[in-house]
Amino acid sequence: MKSIKDKIVWITGASSGIGEEIAYKLAEKGALLILSARRKEELERVKQNCIIKYEANAIVCPLDVADKNEVDRVYSILLKKLGKIDVLINNAGYGLTKEFVDYDITEAENMFRVNILGMMHITQKVAAHMIERNTGHIINVGSIAGKIATPKSAVYSSSKFAVIGFSNALRLELKDYDIKVTTVNPGPVDTSFFDSFDPDGSYLEKVKSFVLTPEEVAGKIVAVIGKNKREVNIPGIMEVAFRFYTLFPAVGDFLVRNVFDKK
């Protein structure tokens, strides 16, 4: 994949934050965009921005990734209409911070349906199609939280650990079909994600020196399309922190508990 121009790219979680910025950067490069999320009115806003600013081609496909039947229906329509999907960017996801013993387990089930099970279902459909064509790129947006767990993020971190593990196995399975699989693991990003994850803002305050903008993350994601890149961890200091954590887990636990714990 030497150029993104005229490639068909399906973005989930495209109504705001990282997904919205990915759409703009791809629109600028001439991609044909499929924009999915639950909020149709917000998707229409993003689409109009893509058209006005970049004269881009964009299709709005409202979708709840946790709804298996809806995923099947939307995928079938897209394939009939477009004939192919060149790139899938699994960006949809959310998180909550809470002591695990205080969790309503239904909340955990819902988070896994969105963050991992819904992503797996879409990926299975698209990957089977890409195998037929012997080409494609699947990009799964994980999180540094899937590599370094922090207090009060047991459910969110475990869902992102699952994203990384799934991606690593899928990469090996699809290698012989010339299909690339990349995991992008951002640290904290200043988006509406934190409205639910960190309602009082105390977590963001503690990690403000590491906080990324949606534009920064989107830029890294778009830059990796078509490249044989296994994983992208940003910011760089978080990659260093993960390697330190792996080598010195006891010290890492102490630092994580004292730096990232929300009191």
CATH code: domain of residue 82:
3.40.50.720
Tell me the chain's radius of gyration from C-alpha atoms. 18
Mean pLDDT of the chain: 89
pLDDT, tens digit, for every residue of 94-151? 988 888 999 999 999 999 999 999 999 999 999 999 999 999 999 999 999 899 888 8
**Section 153-170 average pLDDT:** 96
- Report if residue 3 sits inside a domain: no
pLDDT at 245: 66
Q: Say what percent of the chain tops pLDDT 70.
A: 84
Measured from the Cβ of residue 177, the count of other Cβ atoms closer than 10 Å reads 15
Residue 204 has pLDDT above 70, yes or no: no
pLDDT, tens digit, for every residue of 3-23? 899 999 999 999 999 999 999
Residue owning tokens 């330190």:
244
- Report if residue 2 sits inside a domain: no
- Residue 219 is given by DSSP the state H
- Report if residue 180 sits inside a domain: yes
pLDDT at 172: 97
- Distance separating alpha carbons of residues 24 and 241, to the nearest angstrom: 31
Compute the residue count for the chain.
263
Regarding predicted confidence, which is higher, 225 or 241? Answer: 225
Distance of CA 176 to the CA centre of its chain: 24
Q: How confident is the model at residue 194 (pLDDT cuts 50, 70, 90)?
A: low
pLDDT at 231: 94
Residue 236 has pLDDT above 80, yes or no: no
pLDDT at 188: 80
Please give the angle made by the CA atoms of 170, 122 and 46, to the nearest 5 degrees.
120
Catalytic residue set: 156
- Report if residue 201 sits inside a domain: yes
Residue 247 has pLDDT above 70, yes or no: no
- Distance separating alpha carbons of residues 133 and 49, to the nearest angstrom: 32
Residue 173 has pLDDT above 90, yes or no: yes
Number of domains in the chain: 1
- Report if residue 235 sits inside a domain: yes
The closest alpha carbon to 33, from 89, 107, 99, belongs to: 89
pLDDT, tens digit, for every residue of 74-85? 999 999 999 999
Residue 195 has pLDDT above 60, yes or no: no
Residue 182 has pLDDT above 60, yes or no: yes
Residue 181 has pLDDT above 90, yes or no: yes
Has this prediction a pTM greater than 0.85? yes
- Report if residue 1 sits inside a domain: no
Q: Which domain holds residue 211?
A: 8-260
pLDDT, tens digit, for every residue of 52-71? 999 999 999 999 999 999 99
